[in-house]
Amino acid sequence: MIRFEKVTKRYAGPGKPALDQVSIDIDKGEFVYLVGTSGSGKSTALRLVLRELRPSSGRVHVAGKEINRMAGWKVPRLRRQIGTVFQDFRLLPNKTVAENVAFAQQVIGKSRREISRVVPETLDLVGLKDKGDRMPDELSGGEQQRVAIARAFVNRPMILIADEPTGNLDPATSVGIMNLLGEINATGTTVVMATHDHGIVDQFTKRVIELEHGKVVRDEAAGSYGFQH
């Protein structure tokens, strides 16, 4: 589903590359943690998958396509197959919960009928069936993250990328979010989660890829967080 072939990414200016000859292979339906210290290259790797960045060398394959040389006009189509969740939720404060979720469908041209069918379904899936009319600031952090997950999943992407999704949440709420991501993974969606949360990684055992100074230093099928920071 996602394959990095000797990917190197250098940013402008001197210094070491953000990613250095990284090769990763993630299959369809896998749940993978991407761990490492700040600056280890996790976010760069996720942005390469989204084609927000292009590698300096090497190849990135997503959903069977090499995306390095993909024409700009094809990028939106690629991104429709990827859902994204962030630590800071990134909800639109002037839209209700349901409108936030529907927004992801409206902007790619889904019909009103489909939106009115899929949005309640998705809100139900994330446990916010009765909160569609609320504004984001009326929700707890955990609930806001659920809305963000609903928005990322509403188009039923093949891949879900989660960048520190539990970073702003307390441990109990984090468990709820991880259970939800697990449910989404169980539908066949590949989940790649960058995290610093060793409690979560150790509790919900999955494949762990550890990056350090832009290199893969560990790739374990059922790993633990492995280092303390």
Residues at the contact surface with other proteins, assessed by CB under 8 A: 50, 72-73, 75-84, 90, 92, 103-104, 106-112, 151, 155
Shortest gap between Cβ of 86 and other proteins (angstroms)? 9
Closer by beta carbon to other proteins, 106 or else 179: 106
For residues 2 and 192, give the distance between their C-alpha atoms in angstroms, rounded to a whole number. Answer: 10
- Give the residue with the Cβ less far from other proteins, 81 or 168: 81
78 versus 135: smaller Cβ distance to other proteins: 78
DSSP element (H, E) containing 26: strand 19-26
Query: Looking at beta carbons only, is 21 or 96 nearer to other proteins?
Result: 96
Torsion of CA 112, 186, 131, 90, to 10 degrees: -80
Residues 154 and 6 sit within 8 Å (Cβ to Cβ): no
Supply the minimum distance, in Å, between the C-beta of residue 140 and other proteins. 21
Nearer to other proteins, 50 or 135 (CB): 50
Residue 78 beta carbon to other proteins: minimum distance, rounded to whole angstroms: 7
What is residue 8's three-state secondary structure? strand
Closest CA to 126 of 106, 99, 108, 153: 153
CA proximity to 156, closest of 202, 223, 105, 196:
105
Supply the minimum distance, in Å, between the C-beta of residue 90 and other proteins: 6
Q: How far is the CB of 110 from other proteins (least distance, A)?
A: 8
Nearest to 106 by CA among 93, 91, 116: 116
